[in-house]
Amino acid sequence: MVFVPSSRILSSYVFVSFLLLISFGITYGTETDIFCLKSIKNSIQDPNNYLTSSWNFNNKTEGFICRFNGVECWHPDENKVLNLKLSNMGLKGQFPRGIVNCSSMTGLDLSVNDLSGTIPGDISTLLKFVTSLDLSSNEFSGEIPVSLANCTYLNVLKLSQNQLTGQIPLLLGTLDRIKTFDVSNNLLTGQVPNFTAGGKVDVNYANNQGLCGQPSLGVCKATASSKSNTAVIAGAAVGAVTLAALGLGVFMFFFVRRSAYRKKEEDPEGNKWARSLKGTKGIKVSLFEKSISKMKLSDLMKATNNFSNINIIGTGRTGTVYKATLEDGTAFMVKRLQESQHSEKEFMSEMATLGTVKHRNLVPLLGFCVAKKERLLVFKNMPNGMLHDQLHPAAGECTLDWPSRLKIAIGAAKGFAWLHHSCNPRIIHRNISSKCILLDADFEPKISDFGLARLMNPLDTHLSTFVNGEFGDFGYVAPEYTKTLVATPKGDVFSFGTVLLELVTGERPANVAKAPETFKGNLVEWITELSSNSKLHDAIDESLLNKGDDNELFQFLKVACNCVTEVPKERPTMFEVYQFLRAIGGKYNFQTEDEILVPEDIIGDNNMVELIVAREGK
């Protein structure tokens, strides 16, 4: 289940050096990102109050902008914008130039709004590291800027459904990382670019009457002067007819857009992508559970209020999750996967595999649905949400007691150990964090997003796949990953060790509240510093101490420390981690029968707690 990067990645010293520079440079948030969002809010009109109601700059806590509507951060505890997704909000005005202050942003989505004017000619300086740019379904006019060819990390460029004119810059064909290029439904003319350096590109030139240069568009003909009056008259006639047709086309374009806008006003909470599925609502949802009533796409749309924004309960690297409720009150979750380069056949094959992956500590995948380019997954509802939100509530303090935290750790470790050692084929998660561990009604942990990394754009020679954070947040990523770009089981162990540190310290992975103001590192670095000064006990959450569990807490903390050691070979396997934690929580009888096959290299090792002490050297 792991994609091994090509030799070009491993051999490119320039690439690795630049990657390290980026990774170190984006670790801590800056005031410029806050100023960026302020300037955007002030420069565009927000008639539906999407930004006005959410973008409150009076909060001064670290990471507060990450809770703004449409804002995704490199890490939820840092004021550093990763993606800005302001689609379908009815925004008006021109392209917000203040976006230049979001200097580490990689994704911008302003689609399905009423923005107008020209696309800035210096857009490559405004969005230096952009990998995905979506300005579709707006009122942008003028020519496509040549400077877009300087946005060398672009994977996705969508400019469809605007009023763009002139020729598509041929230099765009030099974008060797481009995978999706959509300029359909504009007024473009002339020869189209030839994308050759980056392999297969999904292009869309539809409804641009003047384009040429591809078999589907026709051959570009050179213009030549003629002294023939007949030719002049014929050309004039053709021009008049073309002009009339163009005028009619423009009229129809605005008529259709106006009708769509009125529909959006009538249904402000719906999403255009969901409305575009009209005509496909009869598609059946493929179900893995026979006990579930048959469903169609129309049932999913009704249960999510046409995938209304108010039904969003989570967003992440793999897509957006919506709360869904059937008429009989049955609740479940629907994930809309982010765009993938995989074909429908490949997706169906992957679903057939994931549908067989079942364990009591995995979020049950109930079914899936394919409609046009949309990929929808149906999961069982988890009433208590993400572990992250339980540990770090927006208001108040964490209310999880020690037995509850230990129960969550043991159950999650068991799930990850099963994925690593017993699942066939074995799965490396690659995106472990406290956000991928969900909690059911009894606070039993369930792992989400397992196997979904296969459905995302694969890690190839593109820096952008890492910049987009496909394989996890920086607070969780193993140190060796920035050097090798290879996902490994020991990398998963490091990420899970960070989750264990969150559980026992109550601290966030990137920002440590209890650390001195002069300390600028993350949670793992803080723990390492305390350990070197023999002050490791100071890291434990004070709300858990002096309740008779101090010895368990300290043993738990040492397990976490073993997981996040810098050298991968010195980390335990996920099976060992599970055994360590189970030994610590033996008196609680949390677990049922084991479903994990014991790895051969661990057979006979029955003294797990002593092994922990031996590894600590204490």
CATH of the domain at 298: 3.30.200.20
Inter-axis angle of helices 489-505 and 523-532, to 10 degrees? 80
Q: What is the pLDDT of residue 177?
A: 86
The answer on 172 and 49 residing in a single domain is yes
Asked if residue 192 belongs to a domain, the reply is yes
**Do residues 316 and 364 share a domain?**
yes
Please indicate, yes or no, whether residues 393 and 477 belong to a single structural domain of this protein.
yes
Whole-number Å distance between alpha carbons of 565 and 559: 10
Three-class DSSP category at 324: strand
The confidence score (pLDDT) of residue 199 equals 65
Find the range with the poorest average confidence among 16-25, 98-107, 233-242, 323-332.
16-25
Mean of pLDDT values over 434-441? 92
Q: Report the amino acid identity of residue 114.
A: D
- How high is the pLDDT of residue 493? 96
Q: What is the pLDDT of residues 286-326, one digit of tens each?
A: 887 766 778 888 888 888 888 888 888 877 667 788 999 98
Per-residue pLDDT of 232-272, as tens digits, reads 445 555 555 555 556 565 555 555 555 444 444 334 445 67
- Domain-terminating residue out of 165, 192, 212: 212
| CA–CA dist 556, 618 (Å, integer) | 15
Residue 396 shares a structural domain with residue 304: no
Buried b (16+ CB within 10 A) or exposed e, 385-424: ebbbbbbbeeeeebebebeebbbbbbbbbbbbbbbbbbbe
pTM: 0.56
Please report whether residue 610 resides in a domain: no
Same domain, 369 and 394: no
The reply to whether 346 and 476 lie within a common domain is no
Which of 74-88, 108-122, 263-277, 580-594: highest mean pLDDT? 108-122
What distance in Å separates the CA atoms of residue 271 and residue 491, rounded to the nearest whole number? 37
- Are residue 329 and residue 474 in the same domain, yes or no? no
Which residues are 109's β-sheet partners? 85, 134
Mean pLDDT of 473-501: 86
Distance CA(303)–CA(346), nearest Å, equals 28
Residue 142 — very low, low, confident or very high, per pLDDT cuts 50/70/90? very high
Same domain? For 92 and 162 the reply is yes
Total domains present in the chain: 3
pLDDT surpassing 70 at residue 337: yes
Q: Does residue 303 share a domain with residue 417? A: no
514: amino acid identity, one letter: K
Full domain range(s) for residue 412: 384-592
Same-domain pairing of 365 and 411: no
For 289, 316, 481, the CA distances from 495, given in Å and listed in that order, are 31, 16, 11
CATH code of the domain covering residue 175:
3.80.10.10
Sheet strands side by side (includes 319-325): 286-287, 365-371, 374-380, 331-337, 319-325, 312-316
> 170 phi and psi, to 5 degrees?
-65, -25
Considering the domain architecture, whether residues 572 and 555 belong to the same structural domain is answered as yes
Beta strand 319-325 pairing with 163-167: unpaired
Task: Tell me, yes or no, whether 9 lies in a domain.
Answer: no
Tell me whether residue 168 is in a domain: yes
Measured in whole angstroms, the distance separating CA 595 from the mean position of its chain's CA atoms is 31
Task: Give the pLDDT confidence score for residue 579 in this predicted structure.
Answer: 93
Is 74 contained in some domain?
yes
Return the H-helix or E-strand segment holding 320: strand 319-325
Residue 342: the pLDDT is: 66
**Is 438 in the same domain as 544?**
yes
Residue 341, pLDDT score? 61
545, 553 contact by CB (below 8 A) = yes
- Interacting residues of 388 by C-beta distance below 8 A, sequence separation 6+: 76, 433, 434, 435, 437
- Encode 160-216 in three state secondary structure: CCCEEEEECCHHHHHCCCCCEEECCCCEEEEECCCCCCCCCCEEECCCCCEEECECC
